[in-house]
Amino acid sequence: MAEPEYTVESKCETTEEEKSSSASSEVVIGIDIGTSQCSVAVWNGSEVELLKNTRNQPLIRFDVPVDNDIPLGEVNYHLSHKHERLSGASILNMKRLIGRVDTDRVVHASNNFPFLVQTLDMGARPFIATLVNNVWKSTTPEEVLALYLAELRIMAESKLKRPIKDVVLCIPVSFSRIQLTRIERACSIAGLHVLRLMPEPAAVALQYAQQQQHMLRDNTGRVSKRIALVFNMGAGYCDVAVADIDGGVTEIKALSGSEIGGEDLLENMMRHLLPSFDKLDIKSMGSLRVAIQEAIHELSLEESVQIDVDLGNGSRLCKEVKREEFEEVNKFIFCESQILIVECMQNAHVNVEDLTDVIVVGGCSCIPKIRNLVENLCEREIYKGMNPLTAAVYGTALEGALTSGIDDPLGDVDLLTSQVTTLGIGIRTNRFEFVPVIPRNTTMPVHKEMIFTTFKDNQTEALIVVYEGESEMEDENHLLGYFKITGIPPALEGVPEINVGMDINASNELSVLARVIIPGSQQPVVPVMELKMPTVDDGHGCCNEVLDRAYGPTLDSMIVRRKNDSI
Amino acid sequence: MYATLPSPFLPKSIHAFSPNKTSSSLRTSARAASFKSATATESNSAAVALAGSLYEILRVERTASLNEIKTAYRSLAKVYHPDANGSSSDGRDFIEIRNAYATLSDPTARAVYDMSLGVRARRVRNRAYPNRRWETDQCW
């Protein structure tokens, strides 16, 4: 095949040069905000470097002590005693609470925290407060996160001796778009611009791809194609990814995730050992938390462990706990993580024998039960070449370098990751039915369209309600936004063509478009509507109900799917 | 973050091939090769969008094996994916490539497509690029 020579058009040369030189001076950092700890890394031109805090720790606890009115980040801050941290004047586990409404199961499960999480069960933002001088002072997860991120930024700036603006963050697979916007907001308060939000297991897969590429270079005889399963269980979330790695392209085939993690293991153990633990005062709750957390850590190494904790007022919890006991108490959590793996492999259309490597990372990766169940399910040993606690942040730093145009003269990092959507996005039809327009696990960027039509004769308006989720019933999914198309010319039911287009760009930004066409004319009869979603914000839980009350019974603006017209 | 990437709906030239991209593509011989074959059809205006069949989008023969299709997709992704090193693409080209790959890498979908390609080439052409219709009306 003849290959014509390609000549560069000279007119764009200067502008592109300017662009690339400015790009190379920008440093993009990768941040992994964990439920219990955080880490920051950066590509230094030849490898990924973890940034340590002033106490030389690469992993930084994500607790924010509050002193008087000002929450203090704990990036460099050191509390003399860890029990002090849990005395009610400290915030933790913000990653589990961010962007959730007070009807959420995860928010409800937060009653063992050493601070106040008040839920009124109305689909609004929960009231979160810390006890300072016997006064409950309110705060929000975004505020705490922003403060913490600002400290991380300052730490990175002092290490790298240059201003930092751009960041790649990794996020749990099960995060909704509402939660993503909250993370972005927290970043912008902290003076950071989010370049990419990357699912945690995808970040791990990217590090794996880089390792494999290096191995290939050393040992050219090896096959380049790899299929890896990544299992990531941290304190707050459990995620699974299947990645197909070939020729430097890491294609994420499927993602699955759930909000289960070490926190649930901890809560189950607390409930098991002291069923009435939620009646404890904040200080004793803090002591119990710390003691049981330590016991769980020890149970990864020992068969049994002695718990002895002072609960105040002369009461004491003194018990021996066996590893089997811990596994029995948490069997549902382990079972659910197995389901996530099976589901992910099914969605990726891979079998156990197709897998090249199985990677287990995250804070829970050293629990023997977790390792066993993954090994048994995938019928192979766990991949050894990775630090389970820093794999995700490593991947985000790499992604940051890649998306911003890596400075890589030797061609060492010839990588690309193609991401998939973590949740399906669709609209409501037939009153309560959810029709996915962009299914889950669709490669991004993506553009999809679907044609809907009117439900009644001479219907003049159509309400487009956009949801994100997997359930067939719209009320189990997250409401992202809504808008109404008005001025549809009178016609018989099913005649006007309501074309709904959805776009997700490489930065995972969603836009929804709708236009109305009357058959016979190619031009839209009313101006096209385009919205960036999500448009709903606080109280997205009750919005759904209000919408139902206002528009549910009338059917005047309902739309239905037009049969055989999907494209 | 909204500033970094242009909206996919802005009327924008589809193949913004930049010198930046050339240098990154020429780093390794494999990438250079895929780049050259990519430019073969790129010289037509709006190459990807208006190219004939899905095979032309992926730059493979009608008889290409599944492996050849996969390799072609991956090398094109490395040039056209918005995240690709030095890429200035807004992702539309990648979506076209991805859609072509989705059909051709699925044996059943490919067989159906091949059949329709033979019988009603013109109608299929319209159906194969539903995305274009939107933008044709909107932008061009």
Final residue of a domain: which of A331, A364, A383?
A331
- Note whether residue A81 is domain-resident: no
**A256 in a structural domain:** no
Question: Across the A/B interface, how many CB contacts are shorter than 8 Å?
Answer: 125
Q: What's the start-to-end Cα distance of chain A, in Å?
A: 34
Q: Give me the CATH number covering residue A526.
A: 2.60.34.10
Q: Is A155 inside any structural domain? A: no
Q: Are A42 and A30 in contact (CB under 8 A)?
A: yes
> Which of A195, A418, A446 is closest, CB to CB, to B77?
A418
> Reduced to 3 states, what is the DSSP secondary structure of residue A248?
coil
Supply the pLDDT for residue B8.
38
Establish if A468 belongs to a structural domain: yes
Instruction: Compare all CA atoms of chain A with the CA of B89 and give the residue at the minimum distance.
Output: A506
Chain A segment 521-540 residues within 8 A of B by beta carbon are 522-524, 528, 530, 532
In a domain, A181, yes or no: no
Name the residue of chain B whose CA is nearest to A449's CA.
B131
Burial of residue B108 (CB within 10 Å: 0-12, 13-18, 19+) is: exposed
Q: Does A393 touch chain B (CB under 8 A)?
A: no
Last residue of a domain, one of A331, A357, A387: A331
In a shared domain, residues A435 and A555: yes
Dihedrals φ, ψ of A427, to 5°? -130, 165
Smallest CA–CA separation between A268 and chain B, in Å? 40
Total residues found in chain A within this entry? 567
DSSP conformation letters of A149-208:
HHHHHHHHHHHHTS---EEEEEE-TT--HHHHHHHHHHHHHTT-EEEEEEEHHHHHHHHH
B92 contacts in chain A (CB < 8 Å): 447
Instruction: Give the pLDDT score at B51.
Output: 47
Looking at residue A553, the DSSP 8-state letter turns out to be: T
Task: Provide the residue type at A244 as one letter.
Answer: D
> Which range of residues forms the domain containing residue A521?
425-561
Any domain includes A145: no
Check if A224 contacts B (Cβ < 8 Å): no
Which tokens hold the place of A218?
A: 């050393």
- How far, in Å, CA of A390 to CA of A52, rounded? 12
pLDDT score for A208: 93
Does any CB of chain A come closer than 8 Å to the CB of residue B135? Answer: no
**Which B residues in the span 21-50 are in contact with A, Cβ-Cβ below 8 Å?**
22, 27-28, 30-31, 35-37, 39-40, 42-43
What is the pLDDT tens value at each position of chain B, 140 positions in all? 333 333 333 333 333 333 333 333 333 333 333 333 333 333 333 334 444 688 989 999 888 898 899 889 988 888 888 887 666 677 888 999 999 999 999 899 999 988 887 765 555 445 544 444 444 444 44
State the number of CA atoms in the 13 A half-sphere of A221 facing the CB: 0
Q: Which helix (H) or strand (E) holds B114?
A: helix B107-119
Q: Is A191 touching B (CB cutoff 8 A)?
A: no
Do B40 and A194 make contact, defined as CB atoms within 8 angstroms? no
Across chain A, which has 567 residues, the per-10-residue mean pLDDT values are: 43 39 67 86 87 72 58 48 54 82 83 78 84 82 87 89 92 91 92 92 93 75 79 93 89 93 91 86 82 92 91 86 94 95 95 94 93 93 91 92 73 80 88 85 92 89 88 77 90 90 91 90 87 80 79 72 60
Q: What is the crossing angle of helices B29-42 and B66-80, to 10°?
A: 90
Q: Which amino acid is at B2?
A: Y
Q: What are the residues whose beta carbons fall under 8 Å from the beta carbon of A89, sequence distance 6 or more?
A: A65, A66, A67, A115, A130, A131, A132
Parallel, antiparallel, or unpaired: how do β-strands A226-233 and A357-361 relate?
parallel
Residue A397 included in any domain = no
Q: By CA distance, what is A19's nearest residue in B?
A: B20
A331 contact B CB<8A: no
Q: Residues 60 to 89 of B: which have CB under 8 A from any A CB? A: 70-71, 74-75, 77-78, 81-86
The reply to whether A431 and A327 lie within a common domain is no
Interface test with B, best of A1, A5, A6, A449 (most B CBs within 10 A): A6
Give chain B positions within 8 Å (CB) of A22: none
Asked if B17 lies within 8 A of A9 by C-beta distance, the reply is: yes
Return the residue in B83, B96, B129 with the most chain A beta carbons within 10 A, the one to mutate for interface testing: B83
Most A CBs within 10 Å, among B17, B45, B85, to test the A interface: B85
Q: What is the DSSP string of A439-452?
A: -TTPBSSEEEEEEE
- Own/partner pairs, A187-192, CB within 8 angstroms, 24+ separation: A187/A146, A187/A149, A189/A142, A189/A143, A189/A146, A189/A149, A189/A150, A190/A145, A190/A146, A190/A147, A190/A148, A190/A149, A190/A150, A190/A152, A190/A153, A191/A150, A191/A153, A191/A165, A192/A149, A192/A153, A192/A164, A192/A165, A192/A166, A192/A167
Complex ipTM more than 0.95, yes or no = no
Write down the architecture of domain B19-138 according to CATH. Orthogonal Bundle (1.10)
Distance from CA of B11 to the nearest CA of A (A): 15
**Domain stop point among A314, A331, A348:** A331
Closest residue by Cα to residue A200 from A235, A241, A236: A241
Answer whether residue A435 is part of any domain.
yes
Contact assignment for B91 to A506 by CB distance below 8 Å: yes
Domain extents in chain B: 19-138
Could A6 and B20 be called an inter-chain contact, meaning their C-beta atoms sit closer than 8 Å?
Answer: no
Integer CA distances (angstroms), A558 to A316, A427, A428, A455, A542, in order: 61, 11, 9, 6, 20
CA distance A294 to chain B (A): 40
Smallest Cβ–Cβ distance between A3 and the set B4, B18, B40 belongs to B40
Residue A348's Cα: distance from chain center in Å?
19
- CA–CA separation, A336 vs A112, rounded Å? 22
Q: Assess contact for A463 and A482: CB atoms under 8 A.
A: yes
The closest of A182, A184, A185 to A99, measured between CA atoms, is: A182
Of the candidates A445, A545, A432, A559, which has an alpha carbon nearest to the alpha carbon of residue A495?
A559
Query: For the whole model, what pTM was predicted?
Result: 0.81
**The pLDDT value given to residue A474:** 64
Residue in A closest to B91 by C-alpha? A445
Which residues have CB under 8 Å from A559's CB, separation 6+?
A427, A429, A452, A453, A454, A455, A462, A463, A464, A498
Q: From the candidates A225, A450, A505, which should be mutated to test the interface with B, based on the most B CB atoms within 10 A?
A: A505
Assigned token pair, B1: 């973050």
Q: A24: which chain B residues are within 8 Å (Cβ-Cβ)? A: none
**Chain A hits for B83, Cβ within 8 Å:** 196, 402-403, 416-418, 506
A425, β-bridge pairs: A438, A468
Q: Do A247 and B71 touch (CB under 8 A)?
A: yes
Under an 8 A CB cutoff, do B74 and A3 touch? no
